[in-house]
């Protein structure tokens, strides 16, 4: 590759991390080509902790109340958090990207593995804000070795992820030592991210075994779309200042001791528990099918007769075994599985042999059962191209599933799809739609790429499709597609998906087993308690830079015999590890209650942030009928006995009713239950009837920042306050 | 009769924890079992008999997501 032209550059002195923080954040404006270093105050650490918390704080300071996703002041803020970069304990290399989303017009946060988060910190920065819009494609480089931040003219005609990532790892590596490429990490999006709102951010790490870069994704929310709107082809971070103690932790012995214990636990128990080391997250495929949770044909069904074709054993065989597939150093969980030597059958790289990262469970289900396809090779191919084009596989799967159902219902036709026969399971035409999305030229594909929320408007307006039907079956909330679990049989999971800060992604709470199978949440108060605790506990991972999987996809052998059923579900020993690790890195002592409090501060701040952007009230916590229960007769008839009993439990005798009438009656019952759930959860969270955090709550949390209170006071109404 | 996760289930002589798990098709690997509030180690599921009238809790740890 030819030397890239420098458009702007700025020198800095990389701050060394101390107790997990460098104390500095970087702002790069690619529009006016400026650079700025900001100090991190103790107050910022206390209120926002790091990671997503820092991202939200920096974004808050940079946008206006009216900012839309494609305004120049919108940012992509990337931050790992104080524990990010620890190598002694598994799962500690995540970063969180925060931005105003094109799909939801409010803040979104999305995480990725890969080495970018840790390297950014070791290059001197607790966070990077990227703002402005470049006039032509650029590459942003944070080079701690040279002590410079640069904006370079992008040489890439093909901005797709693998092309750009491979070239940049080579460009920034020592030509005489291929493994020197591990000291860089590259963020990319892709061509598909330019025209679709499903743009993902790919984050690389150099795989020293395979001698190639691998890609992990901050898939959700459209962060990649913003990168391309800013004409950013890539962001590179580079530093050789990398070691197991680069965080300069307070107590390395504790980290080593806790890490050694968990490594041992994972190595000895994983094969009996989740098989993450060999099957990765697809170990869930057959389990979800067995419990009627595997989304099939746009979440109509939770089970399918061909599900054995996508059994984890099939994926296990496709994945290369025996390689330590951790996406950051020290992760013995090693679930970042890959298919090597896969020969592409379609698209611009047809015939080329490549390595595919994944498929993970969400992709296996989204670009599999949910679109009616039970063919792992096909899913693997879609996975590769989605990453390469910079498209989120979850929104893609759920979005195409919606398109297929609209097509099968006759709401749209072949005339509208530019000749594609988009029935469920029609692999060739669905693949072609993916390539059209990647290319960004076909007018139908352009509509699809705007997401279900906007597709409903576009299909109604342009094709006369029935809006009411689309509202019922479109699996989105707050503008973003639902991730890949059937929620309709768990009232708590309605909340886990649809009472979230940013829309239906399962990173806040996954309560289906607790609620529906274990029957641990019998009352609405129990469900609300879970919808308070789990989102707040899980938010903490995003503040400190952790992967959630080593928390509860492995558990100590005595977890269940040592604790009560309710406690065991929280995996207390692992929670205590996190409490101890926080102190071991930062030197600050916290309790497990304070850990949740750290999250609750940011959780409520983000809720107010949504409010500030014109969202964040009850009317945006909407749920489609398909998420509540069966919509059409064939869904009922797939589980007649089960649903008849559900109706009886609601006080209605199903005898004499047609299946469609039964669906409609059950919907009515469940809609009322939904409203009750919303009230109970809002109350538990300290929000008013309209879903706005109360001033009292913000004061309790120490988040009574004047400008935050001002937003609440502007929107809260006396009639929405609870009486007690 | 026994109760499993709050639902009645017919009791059979020499019924083990594993028999209940199989009958319920609980294929999830991270199961934790309590019989009348007493925990049963995972390695003992095959050999632990469930007495009549027992209150059995078969808890699926969260995982997923
Ligand atoms: S558990 Fe998997 S996703 Fe999480 S850090 Fe480890 S390898 Fe990466």
CA distances A51 to A78, A533, A544, B29, Å, are 7, 20, 6, 32
**Torsion of Cα atoms, A430 then A450 then A62 then A203, to 10°:** 0
Contact B27 A506 (CB under 8 A): no
Is the CB of residue A142 less than 8 Å from the CB of residue A649?
no
CA-to-CA distance for B27 and A583, rounded, in angstroms? 38
Q: Is A535 helix (H, G, I), strand (E, B) or coil?
A: helix
Buried b (16+ CB within 10 A) or exposed e, A1-40: eeebeebbebebebbebebbbbbbbbbbbbeebebeebeb
For the beta carbon of residue A569, count every other beta carbon within 10 angstroms: 27
Which among A549, A550, A555, A574 is the best mutation to test ligand 1's pocket, defined by most ligand atoms within 8 Å of the CB?
A549
Q: Tokens 């069966």 label which residue?
A: A630
Beta strands in A61-211 (DSSP E): 76-79, 95-100, 107-112, 127-131, 138-143, 148-153, 184-188, 201-207
Q: Which helix (H) or strand (E) covers residue A216, if one does? A: strand A212-218
Distance A584 CA to ligand 1 centre (A): 21
Closest CA to A299 of A643, A630, A645: A630
User: To 5 degrees, how large is the angle CA A493–CA A99–CA A299?
Assistant: 30
Chain A hits for B59, Cβ within 8 Å: 518, 520, 560, 565, 568-569
Computed over every residue of chain B, the mean pLDDT equals: 92
The CATH topology of domain A515-720 is 1.10.599
Q: Phi-psi bin for A198: left (phi > 0), alpha (psi -120 to 50), beta?
A: alpha
- Give the number of other Cβ atoms within 10 Å of residue A255's Cβ: 26
For residue A679 the two structure tokens come to 């009230």
With left for phi above 0 and alpha for psi between -120 and 50, is residue A19 left, alpha or beta? left
- Diameter of chain A measured on Cα atoms: 78
What's the full length of chain B, in residues? 65
The token pair at A517 is 């199978």
Task: Report, at the CATH architecture level, how domain A270-481 is classified.
Answer: Orthogonal Bundle (1.10)
Domain positions in chain B are 2-60
What local confidence, expressed as pLDDT, does residue A511 receive? 93
Fold entry, domain A6-238: Aldehyde Ferredoxin Oxidoreductase;  A, domain 1 (3.60.9)
What pLDDT is stored for residue B63 in this prediction? 55
What's the A109 CA to ligand 1 centre distance in angstroms?
A: 18
CA dihedral for A510, A514, A515, A517, sign (positive or negative): positive
Q: Say how far apart CA A470 and CA A624 lie, in whole Å.
A: 9
Cis peptide before A359 (omega within 30 of 0): yes
Q: Would you give the end-to-end CA distance of chain B in angstroms?
A: 35
Which tokens hold the place of A213?
């870069």
What pLDDT, on a 0 to 100 scale, did the predictor assign at position A567?
Answer: 85
Please report the sign of the dihedral spanned by the C-alpha atoms of residue A611, residue A614, residue A618, residue A620: negative
Atom of ligand 1 nearest to the CA of A331: 6
Q: Are A671 and A611 in contact (CB under 8 A)?
A: no
Residue A183 is classified by DSSP as G
Residue A119 in contact with residue A181, Cβ under 8 Å?
A: no
Helices first, then strands: H and E counts in chain B: 1, 5
If one counts every other C-beta atom within 10 angstroms of the C-beta of residue A268, the result is 10
Judged by CB atoms closer than 8 Å, whether chains meet at B27 and A571 is answered as no
Contact between A360 and A280 (Cβ < 8 Å): yes
Residues A684, A531 contacting (CB under 8 angstroms):
yes
The Å distance, Cα A547 to ligand 1 centre, comes to 6
Checking DSSP bridges between strand A212-218 and strand A201-207, what pairing results, if any? antiparallel
Question: Which residues neighbour B6 within 8 Å (Cβ) at sequence distance 6 or greater?
Answer: A519, A522
Find the helix or strand (DSSP H, E) in which B38 lies.
strand B38-40
Distance CA A534, CA A512 (A): 13
- For the segment A589-626, what is each residue's pLDDT rounded down to a tens digit? 999 999 999 999 999 999 999 999 999 999 999 999 99
Q: For the domain bounded by B2-60, which CATH number is listed?
A: 3.10.20.30
Residue B56: Cβ within 10 Å count: 20
Which residue ranges in chain A fall short of pLDDT 70? none
CB pairs under 8 A between A and B: 82
**What is the H or E stretch that residue A436 is in?**
helix A427-439
Given CB atoms, is A287 within the 8 Å cutoff of chain B? Answer: yes
Q: How far apart are CA A494 and CA A517, in angstroms?
A: 15
Q: Which residues line ligand 1 (CB under 6 A)?
A: A 90-91, 113, 326-328, 331, 333-336, 547, 549-550
Q: Do B60 and A518 touch (CB under 8 A)?
A: yes
Residue A304 near residue A289, CB atoms below 8 Å:
yes
Is the Cβ pair A507, B65 closer than 8 Å?
Answer: yes
Beta bridge partners of A439: none
Q: Given an 8 Å threshold on Cβ–Cβ distance, is B30 in contact with A519?
A: no
Q: How far apart are CA B37 and CA B56, in angstroms?
A: 8
Residue nearest to ligand 1 atom 5, measured at CA:
A91
Burial (CB count within 10 angstroms: exposed 0-12, middle 13-18, buried 19+), residue A248: middle
Beta strand B31-35 with B55-60 is antiparallel
Residues of chain A with CATH 1.10.599: 515-720
* A315 in Cβ contact with A321 (< 8 Å): no
Q: Provide the pLDDT for residue A324.
A: 87
Residue of B nearest to A530 (CA): B62
From the CA of A553, give the closest atom in ligand 1.
Answer: 1
């Amino acid at each position: 590759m030819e030397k890239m032209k420098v458009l702007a550059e700025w020198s800095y002195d990389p701050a060394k991390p101390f107790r997990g923080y460098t104390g500095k954040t970087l702002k790069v404006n690619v529009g006016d080509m400026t650079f700025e270093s900001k100090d991190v105050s103790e107050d910022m650490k206390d209120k926002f902790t790091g990671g997503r918390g820092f991202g939200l704080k920096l974004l808050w300071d940079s946008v206006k109340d009216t900012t839309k996703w494609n305004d120049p002041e919108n940012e992509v803020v990337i931050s790992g958090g104080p524990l990010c970069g620890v190598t002694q304990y598994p799962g500690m290399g995540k970063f969180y990207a925060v931005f105003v989303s094109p799909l939801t017009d409010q803040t979104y946060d999305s995480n990725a593995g890969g080495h970018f988060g840790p390297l950014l910190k070791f290059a001197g920065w607790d966070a990077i804000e990227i703002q402005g819009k470049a006039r032509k494609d650029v590459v942003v480089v944070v080079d701690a070795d040279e002590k410079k931040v640069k904006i370079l003219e992008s040489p890439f005609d093909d901005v797709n992820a693998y092309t750009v990532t491979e070239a940049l790892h080579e460009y920034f590596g020592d030509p005489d030592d291929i493994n020197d490429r591990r000291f860089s990490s590259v963020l990319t999006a892709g061509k598909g991210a330019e025209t679709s709102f499903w743009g993902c951010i790919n984050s690389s790490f150099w795989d020293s075994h395979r001698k190639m870069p691998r890609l992990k994704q901050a898939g959700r929310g459209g962060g990649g779309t913003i990168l391309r709107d800013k004409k950013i082809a890539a962001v590179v971070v580079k530093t050789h200042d990398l070691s197991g103690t680069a965080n300069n932790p307070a107590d390395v012995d504790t980290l080593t001791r806790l890490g050694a214990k968990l490594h041992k636990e994972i190595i000895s128990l994983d094969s009996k528990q989740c098989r993450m080391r060999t099957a990765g997250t697809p170990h869930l495929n057959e389990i979800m099918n067995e419990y009627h949770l595997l989304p099939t044909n746009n979440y109509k069904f939770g089970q399918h007769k061909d599900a054995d074709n996508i059994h984890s054993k099939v994926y296990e065989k496709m994945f290369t075994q025996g390689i330590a597939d951790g996406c950051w150093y020290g992760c013995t969980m090693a679930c970042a599985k890959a298919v090597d030597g896969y020969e592409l059958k379609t698209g611009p790289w047809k015939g080329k042999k490549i390595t595919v990262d994944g498929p993970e469970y969400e992709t296996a289900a989204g670009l599999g059962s949910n679109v009616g396809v039970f063919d792992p090779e096909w899913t693997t191919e879609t996975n590769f191209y989605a990453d390469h084009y910079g498209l989120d596989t979850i929104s893609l799967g759920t979005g195409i599933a919606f398109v297929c159902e609209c097509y099968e219902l006759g709401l749209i036709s072949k005339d509208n799809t530019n000749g594609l026969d988009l029935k469920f399971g029609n692999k060739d035409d669905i693949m072609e739609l993916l390539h059209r999305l990647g290319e960004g030229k076909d007018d139908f594909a352009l509509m699809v790429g705007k997401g279900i929320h906007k597709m409903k408007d576009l299909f109604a307006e342009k094709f006369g499709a029935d809006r009411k039907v689309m509202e019922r079956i479109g699996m989105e909330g707050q503008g973003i597609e639902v991730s890949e679990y059937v929620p309709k049989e768990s009232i708590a999971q309605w909340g886990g998906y649809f009472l979230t800060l940013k829309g239906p992604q399962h990173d806040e709470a996954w309560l289906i087993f607790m609620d529906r199978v274990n029957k641990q949440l019998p009352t609405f108060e129990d469900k609300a308690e879970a919808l308070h605790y789990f989102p707040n506990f899980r938010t903490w991972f995003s503040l400190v830079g952790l992967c959630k999987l080593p928390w509860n996809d492995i558990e100590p052998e005595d977890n269940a015999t040592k604790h009560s059923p309710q406690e065991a579900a929280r995996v207390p020993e692992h929670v205590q590890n996190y409490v101890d690790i926080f102190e071991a890195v930062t030197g600050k002592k916290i309790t497990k209650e304070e850990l949740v409090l750290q999250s609750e501060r940011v959780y409520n701040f983000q809720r107010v942030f949504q409010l500030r952007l014109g969202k964040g009230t009850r009317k945006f916590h909407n749920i489609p009928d398909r998420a509540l229960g069966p919509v059409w007769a064939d869904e009922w008839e797939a589980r007649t006995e089960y649903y008849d009993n559900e109706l009886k439990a609601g006080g209605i005798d199903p005898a004499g009713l047609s299946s469609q009438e039964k669906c409609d009656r059950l919907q009515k019952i469940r809609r009322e239950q939904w409203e009750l759930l919303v009230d109970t959860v809002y109350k538990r969270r300290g929000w008013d009837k309209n879903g706005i955090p109360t001033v009292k709550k913000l004061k309790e949390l120490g988040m009574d920042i004047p400008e935050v209170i001002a937003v609440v006071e502007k929107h809260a109404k006396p009639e929405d306050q609870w009486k007690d | 009769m026994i109760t499993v996760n709050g639902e009645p289930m017919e009791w059979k002589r020499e019924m083990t924890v594993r028999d209940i798990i199989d009958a319920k098709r609980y294929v999830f690997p991270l199961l934790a079992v309590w019989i009348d509030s007493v925990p049963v180690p995972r390695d003992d599921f095959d050999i632990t008999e469930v007495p009549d009238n027992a209150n059995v809790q078969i808890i699926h740890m969260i995982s997923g997501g």
